[in-house]
Amino acid sequence: MPKIKKVGSADHLAVTEGELGELRALVAPGQSSGFSVEGLLDASGSYLERSTISVVFRAKRRSGESVSEFALRFERERVPGSRSFENEIKVAKTMKRLSAWVSLLRGRSYTSLGLLAKDIRDALESARTTPLGTEQGWLYQGFIYEADGPYSEDESRLLVLEHFDRERLLFERLRRKHSTDDPPAERVRTRIPSSPHRSVEA
């Protein structure tokens, strides 16, 4: 049986122009035009490799973990009062969301960050009506889905549509079943009269 699951909200993959501006200011401060998703991700990776958090990463890394993955884990696991590495964590968060759009926006060059942010918004909007494959999973109707198995792109898209349709029908049935507009009639327990006692005269 094909395995497919809903893993989160697609809105978490949105990247605003403001966030892209902060990212550029940190990782490529001298760059004013000619942006691409690949270029921003490369610059972000280099920034994290040069940053203070990479020293902690080398001491506490897990097998196969990148600096950006470590930065996000560090934020989740850090104890109150520990050094926050806020800029590094900000870069890692934006980098993670931006990486979802690499295959879709590969090779495109942007004259402004606003145009890049608009392409991401447009992609999220189009994924409300048609499943869209990204590095983070399939986007559809505002959610992210993961298809587990050796499926082609077309098969994965069909599995997403089927999963969404089944879930929609399930909730429609549950709404009808548990609707408060027309409450079920109260069940009245009918009392069965006991047999009359007969007195036997001697």
Per-residue pLDDT of the chain (202 residues; tens, 9 = 90+): 668 889 999 999 999 999 999 999 999 988 777 889 999 999 999 999 999 888 888 888 889 898 899 989 888 887 666 667 889 999 999 999 999 999 999 999 999 999 999 999 999 999 999 999 999 899 999 999 998 888 899 999 999 999 999 999 999 999 998 887 655 555 455 566 555 555 555 4
Total structural domains within the chain: 1
Q: Which whole-number Å values give the CA distances from 8 to 98, 102, 143, in the listed order? A: 16, 19, 6
How far apart, in whole angstroms, are the C-alpha atoms of residue 185 and residue 94? 54
In a domain, 95, yes or no: yes
In a domain, 49, yes or no: yes
The strands making up 132-134's β-sheet, listed across from edge to edge, are 3-9, 143-148, 137-140, 132-134
In a domain, 106, yes or no: yes
Query: Packing angle between helix 113-126 and helix 17-27, nearest 10 degrees?
Result: 130
In a domain, 202, yes or no: no
Q: Which domain holds residue 115?
A: 3-168
Please, how many CA atoms are within 13 Å of residue 126, restricted to the half-sphere of its CB?
Answer: 10
Instruction: Report pLDDT for 95.
Output: 95
In a domain, 193, yes or no: no
**Beta strand 143-148 with 132-134: parallel, antiparallel or unpaired?**
unpaired
- For 66-85, b where at least 16 C-beta lie within 10 A, e where not — what string? ebbbbbbbbbeeeeeeeeeb
Instruction: Report pLDDT for 39.
Output: 93
In a domain, 199, yes or no: no
pTM of structure? 0.77
Q: Which whole-number Å values give the CA distances from 180 to 25, 65, 98, 140, 198, in the listed order? A: 54, 50, 44, 30, 49
In a domain, 151, yes or no: yes
In a domain, 33, yes or no: yes
The position carrying tokens 């004013």 is: 32
